[in-house]
Amino acid sequence: MGETGSDVARASSDIVLADDNFRTIIRAVEEGRILFANLSKGLRYYLACKVALVLATLLPVLLRVPVPFAPIQIILMELFMDLAASATFVAEPGEPGLMRRPPRDPGARFMDRAMVSSILSAAAGLFAVVSVAYLATWYSGAGLVRAQTMAFASWLLGHVFLAINMRSEREPLLRLGLFTNRVMWIWGVATVLFVAAAALIPGAQTALKTASLSRGEWGLALALALAGTFWMEARKFLLLRDDHDRTLIR
């Protein structure tokens, strides 16, 4: 105890409670678990975006067509990506049932097999979103700038939806709470507004190497972004149902 304990006891202890309240240990463990979980989520999201970006750039090179992003677009994509990984996931509240989970093995690897699998599967979805949007527009003969605008718009929309879906590993968003992380929603809305401005404002089009998109193209980009990321929510519901069925059997 920090207040009533002797100097010798405090010096030799592994834990010193400054307020002499054992509940502080519970709060400290909870904060530690939230911190570790959010670090894992942020890293999974960041690496998934990086892998998707590499793959989306590599495929057109293999197909001998121009790359899907202009240099200025990649810089801006990295900016929004970094903001999400460093700010929005930090503000994520703890998931329900966090304190009911068994303690994590201190000797376990931080990037275990499940985490690597999650990164690769999330990256594959975002890669598919960008590749389909870009290649479909390019091969339709719409021109490079228009095809790159489709890739740029679908990427920014897709990586917002990906961040929202990666707020939890197993808990569906409806149970987690859609608006419990206000920082992420502010970032997401700002990203969507930026995408619209980049493709609609003439001055932004010149600076960012973009072009105006038709309603059909906007619809395609949005549909691909939703389909390429929200499959993760369907998986969460299936896992939740399996857990519920096992509980009933027991």
Cα torsion 155, 240, 110, 112 to 10°: value is -90
The pLDDT assigned to 222 comes to 95
The pLDDT assigned to 167 comes to 87
User: Could you report the per-residue pLDDT of 28-49, keeping only the tens digit for each?
Assistant: 888 888 888 889 999 999 999 9
DSSP annotation string for 104-144? PPTTS-SS-HHHHHHHHHHHHHHHHHHHHHHHHHHHTT--H
Closest CA to 73 of 57, 58, 55: 57
The pLDDT assigned to 65 comes to 95
Ranges of the chain whose pLDDT falls below 50: 244-245, 247-249
Assigned architecture for domain 38-96+107-249: Up-down Bundle (1.20)
Token readout for 162 is: 């990906």
Domain boundaries, the chain: 38-96+107-249
The pLDDT assigned to 245 comes to 45
Phi, psi of 4, rounded to the nearest 5 degrees:
-100, -15
Enter the pTM of the model.
0.84
The pLDDT assigned to 157 comes to 95
The pLDDT assigned to 91 comes to 87
With 0-12 / 13-18 / 19 or more C-beta atoms within 10 angstroms meaning exposed / middle / buried, residue 158 is buried
Token readout for 94 is: 């703890």
